[in-house]
Structure 1
Amino acid sequence: MLLVLALGAGAWYMWQYHWRTLSIEVDGTAYSAKADTTVAAFMRDHRDFERKPGRLLSVEGKVLEPSGGNTVSVKFDGKQIEPADWDHTRFEKNGTLTVTPGTDLTEEHTVEQRKVPFKTDINLNGGPVQIVTQQGEDGLQEFWVGRQSKKTAAKTVIRKQEPLIVKSFAPRPEGKKVIALTFDDGPSIYSDKILDILKQNKVKATFFELGEQSLEFPKVEQRIVREGHQIASHSVSHPYFPNMSAQEQRQEIESSLSDIKKASDVSTRTFRAPYGAFGVDEWKNNATLIDRNVLWDVDTLDWKRPGEKQITKEVVDYVHNGAVVLMHSGGGDRSQTVKALPEIIKQLKKKGYSFVTIDELCKMAGLPEAAEPSR
């Protein structure tokens, strides 16, 4: 009797855990499996139901290993079975097996935050007055460096770069006839004579001064301010900026502004580059130091000393509303400029022109205010 019971129990056990056929549903289709079938064997017998492991990708998204990503995912009746458990997990009942393809995996990598230099949008072809309308600001971006591929890939933008925007303008105040007389390279022994003429004729002008000259003639600088003229920078010593390093350029401008402030007690951010040589690179280097670079559209060529009549003719023949006239109050013998100035003023007044500073001209023409650098 005991033997019969033992045999019966053994048969039941074998039936329950080995011989019994189970129904395992995958993708809506029922598959038969013995009760002792492991998940690994079932998957292998059915070629993983054509599910593939994911790929191992580089940080750039290129395939490093076709099967190097995450493995195929398996759930039985909604319960996840980890790949390491497939070999010893056996089916004990009917149920549903959900088989999901493996997902791609990105290679191990380090994460770095790097500065993204600002770009430039600089148009210097619109006229003699160049203005910073937006300061450039570097961005910040996350980069991944792959340990296997050794490649670097740009990822999340943490802070967008803001481009440096410089626009140039030809000021033409509507309904006006105005002109801006400007004098470079002073102050000098000729400056007081020029100021006397301007005062006698009730004319305002703008003086683009050299820092080293400002320190030599501080009383002249103070007189310029006192009599209502505008003072601006023309550098310290009149170098050619494109031949200078970025650091040298900045030092030149900063020193000139400091010299002018010391001599005249005026803080200015208006500049005229020596020789007018101030391009995209110079703006990129120095936009936080100056608001405007003011060139000219009427050149008297007085530095060549062509004679007072020719100097006068250059202005009178080419003058127009909003003209910026280039003359010199220093840098050499300016006696011809001094002699020509009264006749220039006389003839321009006869034509109906009035005289303004660069600041006044920009305001009258509605030019935009310069963008201040971030602190």
Structure 2
Amino acid sequence: MTAPVRRLAAVCALAAALAACGTDQAPRAARPAPAQPSPAPSRPPTLAPGPAGLTPVFSHAPRTRDRTVALTFDADMTAGQGARAAAGERFDHPELIAALRALKVPATVFMTGRWAEEYPVQARTIGRDPLFEVANHSYSHYAFTDDCYGLPTLPEDRMRADVERAYAAFRKAGVPDARPYFRFPGGCYDRRALRAVSGAGVTAVQWDVVSGDAFATDADAVARDVLDGVKPGSVVVMHCTRTAAPATEKAVRVIVPELRRRGYRFVKVSELIGAANGRR
């Protein structure tokens, strides 16, 4: 065999090994690429602990030209109110949730564990709706300080357990990822309370705009209080309880279009906290 012939045979043999040279054989199917693991969901933003490791407190985002505002709704129910619910008192407000959905308004619902136990289907549908996020408003809605609007007071050694019990109630109701945000019942807290719940890993969320909707019957007055108080980065506190806040749904239907007309964008609390951390 001459050198040119040997070279040709070698080339053909190599090509045949790679692509079935000189035959009708189809190339082997390529192996599928190994599945890539799904990225881990990012943890919701929180604030760094305060001095001496105390629970950090968030009231509003920086006052920038980015006109964002968070509407928050407290779904209150005290541990001892089961008999009142059984007698027909409504601590839920499905019409309000329906209005927020119709208006396409993102919102944060601060829910008590007792509320989630009383209304598990509603808790689950709110918690699984991407328009909303569920945050913690304690299990019992008992006060974390003395003299807080007449609420029963929790002893200090039960405060953290009360917060954690609420998260357990959310999980049992089917809320998949309640946020690490905690609103003190009545908004009442002191250094002792901040220290007591510090091990729960939450950011305490207050507000800078009071709607005045609790027990209010004048929706226009509630709307005026909100519209007069909102600034860029505001957190508005409202309520998601039908008998204790009967004017809230109608007020929201006034508030939302007016704030949009003024150039505001509605966001969840998590986005405002992310902005405060320099995150978007």
**Structure 1 length-normalised TM:** 0.52
Question: Please, what is the CA RMSD of the aligned residues?
Answer: 2.3
**Residues 43-81 of structure 1: per-residue CA shift (max 9 Å, x gap):** xxxxxxxxxxxxxxxxxxxxxxxxxxxxxxxxxxxxxxx
**Does 1:197 pair with 2:99?**
yes
**Residues 96-154 of structure 1: per-residue CA shift (max 9 Å, x gap):** xxxxxxxxxxxxxxxxxxxxxxxxxxxxxxxxxxx662489xxxxxxxxxxxxxxxxxx
Q: Is the radius of gyration larger for structure 1 or structure 2? A: 1
- Aligned-residue offset at 1:342: 0.7
What aligned pairs does 1:119-198 form with structure 2 within 5 A after superposition?
Answer: 133-134=48-49, 163-169=52-58, 170-172=60-62, 174-186=64-76, 190-198=92-100
| Unaligned runs of at least 5 residues, structure 2 | 1-45, 78-89, 146-152
- 1:185/1:284 CA distance change after superposition, 3 Å: same
- Aligned-residue offset at 1:189: 5.9
**Aligned counterpart, 1:235:** 138
What aligned pairs does 1:261-280 form with structure 2 within 5 A after superposition?
Answer: 261-263=171-173, 264-280=175-191
**Does 1:346 pair with 2:266?**
no
Distance in 1, Cα, partners of 2:49 & 2:219 = 42
| Unaligned runs of at least 5 residues, structure 1 | 1-130, 137-162, 369-375
Distance in 1, Cα, partners of 2:50 & 2:226 = 35
Bigger strand share: 1
Higher relative contact order, chain-length normalized (CA < 8 Å, sep 6+):
2
Paired amino acid for 1:180: A
Could you tell me which of 327, 331, 347 is aligned with 2:238? 327
**Residues 173-202 of structure 1: per-residue CA shift (max 9 Å, x gap):** 633101100001258664321121111111
Could you tell me which of 162, 167, 187 is aligned with 1:257? 167
- Aligned-residue offset at 1:237: 2.1
- Aligned-residue offset at 1:265: 2.8
**Structure 2 length-normalised TM:** 0.69
- Aligned-residue offset at 1:252: 1.3
**Aligned counterpart, 2:10:** none
Distance in 1, Cα, partners of 2:108 & 2:144 = 22
> Contact between 2:47 and 2:273, CA under 8 Å: does it hold in 1?
no
> Contact between 1:312 and 1:344, CA under 8 Å: does it hold in 2?
yes
Distance in 2, Cα, partners of 1:214 & 1:330 = 13
Stretches of 4+ aligned residues off by more than 6 angstroms: none
> Contact between 2:111 and 2:135, CA under 8 Å: does it hold in 1?
yes
Could you tell me which of 111, 119, 124 is aligned with 1:222? 124
Distance in 1, Cα, partners of 2:136 & 2:197 = 13
Paired amino acid for 2:159: Q
Distance in 1, Cα, partners of 2:97 & 2:212 = 20
> Contact between 2:56 and 2:203, CA under 8 Å: does it hold in 1?
no
- Aligned-residue offset at 1:226: 2.7
- 1:251/1:195 CA distance change after superposition, 3 Å: same
- 1:237/1:331 CA distance change after superposition, 3 Å: farther
Could you tell me which of 124, 136, 154 is aligned with 1:244? 154
Bigger helix share: 2
> Contact between 1:174 and 1:365, CA under 8 Å: does it hold in 2?
no
